[in-house]
Chain A
Amino acid sequence: MYRKVGKPVLFLVILCIAAITYLAYFGLWTSNGDVVTYLINPISKSRFGIDINGGIDVTFTPPKGTKVTQKELDDATTMLKNRLDAKKILDREVYEGKDLNNPSITLRIPHQSSTTTFDPETEIKELGSMVQLVFKCPEYNNGADIITGKDVQSAAVEVQSGSYQVSLTLKSSGTKAFADATKWIHDNSKKLSIYLDNVEVETAGVDNEITDGKAVISGGFTATTAKALAEKINSGSVPFELVTDNFSTISPTLGKSALRVMVTAGLLAFIIICLFMIVYYRLPGLIACIALCGHVAGTLLAISWPQITLTLPGIAGIILSIGMGVDCNVITAERIKEELRVGKTLDGAIDAGFDRSFTAIFDGNVTVIIVGIILMWLGSGSVQSFGYTLIIGVVFNFIMGIIASRLMLKSVSKYSPARRDALYSGRVAE
């Protein structure tokens, strides 16, 4: 592949790198009137983690000592997802803990830019609230539950003579039980009580046996509360109480400021490293800088295009992988220097330099991949992002630092002004 690398190759490679950089910064979009749709997301439209956007990271657990089956955990997760859907929170991460002896569900929700106030406690409370819906009568079946939220098919808001109610349609599992209960209660002139989260919201007599599986909860609802309740019931019943004592919140203003700082740091680091490389390694150093540009652009694109979550440690990972990525250029440049010192021709030195350094670069990068994978497996959101950027950094290191660099260097060395040994080794060949 490297046999015949002609002069034009240099410009081809630089063009490719420029294209990637353009895409990373501007993205690819089509506009339809006022609506802009992105085919490739630029870095500014990355999916940022909550430490940049602000938001909530909460882990729900059942009360200590409660045993939970996998199905119950899955049900709870579905319920949480439904609630998030109902609130139109589409950008989110929801995942279950893997250890069933310590069941947990973790939610990560970035701050919604549409809302102006940041009120994480209320949001967490609403998401995790129980909505334990129970119909019972103390005298019937010793006060056992007649209907619970599990038996409800759907709930809807109804207006009855100016007041708001929530009407319930029961599943077939609940219809018969309800029919039996209401018949008994009616016959015995007892009262039916409705409990919401263990708080009694309504007690009423029953006019007749209810066989059609429809029930109504009325009792001082406003339009908002009725809607909220219907939504909660519809999103599914909660098999167990969700305890929320493991959570972090970050305000949006804090995050934005951190992002600015990190981006500036990154730019500065990039400039310092480039200066160093050019001064110390001259022509190979310059090539390294171009390759580095491609490396960073490629990494950014690999994050923004698939909308992988980018957190502050993730950005630190990008900056670090710049420092580590330049390594392969250093190894190669040193090797070329050496080969020239030993007396090889320029072309021979360049080839030998790249060939000899490959194994060392390869082994070193594989170990970084090992570390990156472990970090992704172990870490919480922010550390996972760091692991991901490390791995992506290695991939682009291979592409830019090895392949692109070699193509560019071989190509540029074909130009006569670039054929002075001093440009590669800093000294005239002995």
Chain B
Amino acid sequence: MKNSANSSAQSAAALMDDKRTRLNIDFIGKRKIYYTISISLILIGILVSVIFGVKLSIAFTGGAIFKYSYTGDVDKNAAQTVVYDTVNANRTNKLKVSTQTDVIKDTNTNRLVFSVSPEKGGEKFSISSTEQQAIKTALQTKFKDNKIDISETRNVNADMGSAFLRKSILAVLLASALIVLYIWIRFRTIGGLPAGLTAFVALLHDVMMAFAAFSIFRIPLDDNFIAVVLTILGFSINDTIVIYDRIRENRRLYGSKVHFKDIVNKSINQSFARSVNTTLCAFFAIAVICVFSIIYNLDSIRSFALPMMVGVITGCYSTICIAGPLWVTWVTHKEKLAEAAKQNKKKLSPKKA
């Protein structure tokens, strides 16, 4: 190693002269801007979810969705009436049915999509397989020439749904805790706790952004949301670790003579190209999936790919603009406190100064 760590002549200027990278952006200096952007976006996300309500998919609330393929022309309203009558034949707590159509582009198949939910919101209900059979038979009878056939159905028992929701939240918390613990341990030589905590804040930031993405695009939260959140956690922390690793290395190299702020800044600059390129590659991968899923109407994949795309970008952003700068804020703040304490000590015992 040419730039030896033991040379006390190393100064911030010499550090900046390092030819390792030509990039020299002051990320740390602009950190207040980044904090503002992030907080605003998260607030928008929260606002949207408060105003328009958080849509939970039937995976969490319980409910039923039936999709039938058909040929020719079918009167949507007539179909809806058939389903409504069949489903409510033996019920006191009436269910309401909403109908849409969609198309499977790949095979050019038209489909009727029936969503069943309770008329009184929040009421638990369930559709048995016998009822589903009755619905199919009723539709096939009414629309004899339209070749009505099952394409896709989903029935979730409400209790199963809420159990699953609990499990999902638990999983996210567990993953976060494990990851933070891991960072704490791996980076304990350079102050594990602030490293772990700032990484955690960056993760939290990403989860909130993913949530905001789901809210703004009006995608119901379902089991894909959980997979997305967990994957973003894994991916974002990956990014963060690479920068922390660089900070650790530079810390070792340049000793504590160079201010932490400059070390972090330099480290971010050095890892910038890598962060961007990796994010770009992951983005390509998920963007292709997303575009295909939108074109070909693969709902389940789209609800997974779109927020993931957002998450990949925010993962990169949170690493570069949030995690590192936050750590610097922490350290600077602690220094200010220590300095203030020293000043107080001097005032209290002037003779010792």
Contact = CB atoms under 8 A, between A and B. Distances in A.
Which of under 10, 10 to 19, 20 to 34, or 35 or more describes the interface residues of A? 35 or more
Contacts, number: 238
Contacts of A338: 20-21, 270
Contact of A364 (B20, B171, B237): B237
Contacts of B130: 121, 125
Contacts of A323: 281-286
B168 A378 contact: yes
Interface in B78-136: 104, 106-107, 109, 126-130, 132-133, 136
B234 A367 contact: yes
B304 A313 contact: yes
Given A247-B155, A370-B175, A330 B281 contact: yes
A245 B128 contact: yes
Contact of A386 (B170, B178, B227, B283): B227
A428 interface: no
A228 B159 CA distance: 33
A319 B289 contact: yes
B106 A246 contact: no
A331 B242 contact: yes
B179 interface: yes
Given A323-B285, A378-B167, A330 B223 contact: no
Contacts of A151: none
Interface string A353-372: 00010011001111110111
B298 A246 contact: no
A273 B285 contact: yes
A360 B284 contact: no
A378 B154 contact: no
A364 B241 contact: yes
B230 interface: yes
A161 interface: no
A249 B150 contact: yes
A365 to B, nearest CB: 7
A58 B132 CA distance: 13
Given A122-B133, A312-B300, A319-B289, A246 B160 contact: yes
B331 interface: no
Given A264-B292, A320-B285, A326-B281, A370 B178 contact: yes
Interface stretch (A168-176, A179-187, A196-204, A253-261): A253-261
Contacts of B106: 257, 260-261
A334 B107 contact: no
A125 B133 contact: yes
Interface stretch (B30-38, B271-279, B320-328): B271-279
Contacts of A253: 69, 107, 109, 151
Contact of B274 (A120, A269, A331): A331
B298 A261 contact: yes
Contacts of B155: 245-248
B316 to A, nearest CB: 12
Given A269-B289, A323-B285, A342-B20, A371 B152 contact: no
A368 B240 CA distance: 13
A372 B227 CA distance: 10
Contacts of A360: 241-242, 245-246
B115 to A, nearest CB: 14
A272 B157 contact: no
Contact of A316 (B69, B174, B301): B301
Interface string B171-186: 1001100110010001
A295 to B, nearest CB: 12
Interface in A254-305: 254, 257-258, 260-262, 264-266, 268-269, 272-273, 276-277, 280
A320 B286 contact: yes
B288 A268 contact: yes
B278 A326 contact: yes
Interface in A307-322: 312-313, 316, 319-320, 322
B233 interface: yes
Nearest to B22: A341
B199 to A, nearest CB: 10
Nearest to B223: A383
A246 B157 contact: yes
A341 to B, nearest CB: 5
Interface residues of B, number: 83
Contacts of A257: 104, 106-107, 296
A262 B69 CA distance: 21
Nearest to A319: B285
Given A262-B301, A330-B277, A330-B281, A272 B241 contact: no
Contacts of A324: 235, 238, 278, 281-282
A316 B288 CA distance: 10
Contacts of A377: 171
Given A125-B129, A313-B304, A323-B281, A374 B150 contact: no
A248 B154 contact: yes
A426 to B, nearest CB: 11
A359 B163 contact: no
Nearest to B65: A248
Interface string A386-416: 1000100000000000000000000000000
B278 A330 contact: yes
A379 interface: yes
A251 interface: yes
A264 B249 CA distance: 42
A221 interface: no
A316 B304 contact: yes
B224 interface: yes
Contacts of A167: none
A262 B292 CA distance: 8
Nearest to B308: A320
B146 interface: no
Given A244-B129, A320-B286, A338-B21, A364 B242 contact: yes
Given A246-B156, A364-B242, A375-B171, 9 more contacts: A248-B155, A251-B69, A253-B107, A261-B292, A334-B277, A367-B182, A367-B241, A371-B175, A374-B171
28 contacts: A102-B163, A120-B150, A124-B129, A244-B129, A246-B155, A247-B129, A248-B154, A251-B69, A251-B151, A258-B298, A262-B289, A265-B293, A268-B292, A272-B284, A273-B281, A276-B280, A312-B298, A312-B301, A324-B238, A324-B278, A334-B274, A342-B2, A343-B2, A359-B245, A366-B182, A367-B234, A371-B231, A379-B223
The 3 closest A-B pairs by CB, nearest first: A323-B285, A245-B126, A323-B282
